[in-house]
Structure 1
């Protein structure tokens, strides 16, 4: 690619991103969602619009992304399984959260970096941010990017490095169980740690990360996003139900 083509593509990327971001600013003000009243909301929208700007302006990236979005034609599993798993995890984890209260202690809380709305978002705005935007961003960053980038690096370096060749063959060609699980566990660990969990609630993030990673590898990014979205959506509902029961 020539220097001028790089400048042109970069300029188009910036223009597309600015237009998308400006559109969201106007939409937020018109609908009163409250995204731009929160630094977390602004950061999430910046990340989201950057992702889509790259996908729109870079054909190869768009094609690669589309290839990972759906990996199975089994719609019942692609859609139904993620929702059921999300519901099951919420019931199980909320049950565990209340166990200390039976012994006179406080309920197990969430990670210190987990987003908690301070009440400035509208109800619809909170649902959109927590159940759509954040799941998409996090699954893109912690599932698609680590897999696609590692594949690209290993593929381009396999002729020059035995390590890269071994990684490429075992993880992406043969799908060796040890290599696949190493990828699943490592990405899930990082995913859990960004929420700054304690020893008590670490598994509340690590296990969902494993589930999302497996869904991504087996059914595609859509299933991982759907599971994450459903998990966040069910969170408050299941918590209130468990609080009344327990």
Structure 2
């Protein structure tokens, strides 16, 4: 009965999301194409499935949605940080142009939009839907929830082996792994060990950059924002990192235009 309920909620939520986007697109002439819907709504619909299917995931997500109840830190600071990182990144991106060289290239998997997509459509896709999916996956799930799930539920709450029923020679490696998991869990989730957390953030941010398909030179353009979004998430919560990511995407075109105007001497 519970499975049927979850499946029904999943299809209902997915249908409502699709219909809402289609309605907004038609009513406000956003210029969102079918390909845009596939790119942006596909991952979001998958997240909806996991959201509905896992009560534990929902509990942890709500607990980390807002870590600090302060308007300036959750809303204003992320926007300011996003703008600052954009100026830093575009300075790096266009630096070769100062020496009459071609600027760096964007990642091969980077979404660039199209002529039919309006500014409002860009804000909806790049400033709201896209950042939500990426922050949910890379910040909430990979940085926090997956390590918690792997360490606590696998090795601590529900051990992989029952000592009485498994041969000692077989159980020793699992006992060893369990002891390591306990130590790591304690250092990360209880002691908040900055070295371990920073190492994991760097690894996840490395993966975040890679999925955008950059070359060696443009890699920092994606890696450093990933570090920033992770810091904002761990410090202020999901909403803050979502706003920071969304603001970076939304203001990217404006900052890019400023640099182009500067380079053209206008």
TM-score (norm 2): 0.83
User: In 2, distance between residues paired with 1:21 and 1:240?
Assistant: 33
For residues 7 and 144 of structure 1, the distance between their equivalents in structure 2, rounded to whole angstroms, comes to: 27
1:70 aligns with 2:66: yes
**Residue of structure 1 equivalent to 2:82:** 86
List aligned pairs for 1:40-79, cutoff 5 A: 40-52=36-48, 54-55=50-51, 59-79=55-75
Equivalent position of 1:202 in the other structure: 219
User: Measured at CA, do residues 19 and 230 of structure 1 come closer, stay the same or move farther in structure 2, by a change above 3 Å?
Assistant: closer
1:129 — aligned with what? 125
Q: Post-superposition shift, 1:200?
A: 1.1
Aligned to 2:166: none
Q: Over alpha carbons, which structure has the higher Rg?
A: 2
CA–CA distance in 2 between the matches of 1:125 and 1:221?
A: 23
Distance (Å, rounded) in 2 between the aligned partners of 1:19 and 1:79: 28
Secondary structure of the structure 1 residue equivalent to 2:136 = helix
Alignment: residue pair count? 242
1:110 maps to 2:109: no
Q: TM-score, normalised by structure 1?
A: 0.89
- CA-based RMSD: 2.0
List alignment gaps of at least 5 residues for structure 2: 160-177
Uncovered stretches (5+) of structure 1, i.e. residues with no partner: none
Pair 57,101 (structure 1): closer, same or farther in 2 beyond 3 Å? same
Cα pair distance change 1:9/1:52, threshold 3 Å: closer
Mapped pair 1:168 → 2:164 = no
Question: Structure 1 residues 243, 19: closer, same or farther in 2, change over 3 A?
Answer: closer
Deviation at 1:50, TM superposition (A): 4.0
Structure-to-structure mapping, 1:122-161, within 5 angstroms:
122-146=118-142, 147-159=144-156, 160=159, 161=178
Larger relative CO (CA 8 A, sep 6+): 1 or 2? Answer: 2
Determine if contact 1:13/1:54 at 8 Å carries over to the other structure. no
Q: CA deviation at 1:169?
A: 1.2
1:224 is aligned to 2:247: no
Corresponding residue to 2:97 among 95, 98, 101:
101
Aligned equivalents of 1:61, 1:232: Cα separation in 2: 27
